[in-house]
Amino acid sequence: MTELAGKRALVTGGSRGIGAAIALALADKGADVAITYERSADRAAEVVRAIERKGRKALAIQADSADPAAVK
């Protein structure tokens, strides 16, 4: 499906669990996806590779979403 083709999404906490599932679902619908993670660099890289295998662009950003300085 390509309902989100040309769109970009940011999923906080996207390296595992519900966040990873949401990131993958958005990619399935055609979106390019950036995810944030706090400590799970390996898991974040796995999610990025899975999104890229779907033909979408992906990016993992290490940041604590609860920290205003990190969000900037």
For the domain that residue 62 is a member of, what is the CATH number?
A: 3.40.50.720
pLDDT score of 1: 64
Domain range spanning residue 20? 8-71
* 1 falls within a domain: no
Per DSSP, the residues of 1-67 read --TTTT-EEEETTTTSHHHHHHHHHHHHTT-EEEEEESS-HHHHHHHHHHHHHTT--EEEEE--TT-
Tens of pLDDT along the chain (72 residues) come to 689 999 999 999 999 999 999 999 999 999 999 999 999 999 999 999 999 999 999 999 999 888 888 777
pLDDT score of 33: 98
Q: What angle is formed at CA 63 by the lines to CA 47 and CA 2, rounded to 5 degrees?
A: 40
Number of domains in the chain: 1
* 41 falls within a domain: yes
pLDDT score of 71: 75
pLDDT score of 34: 98
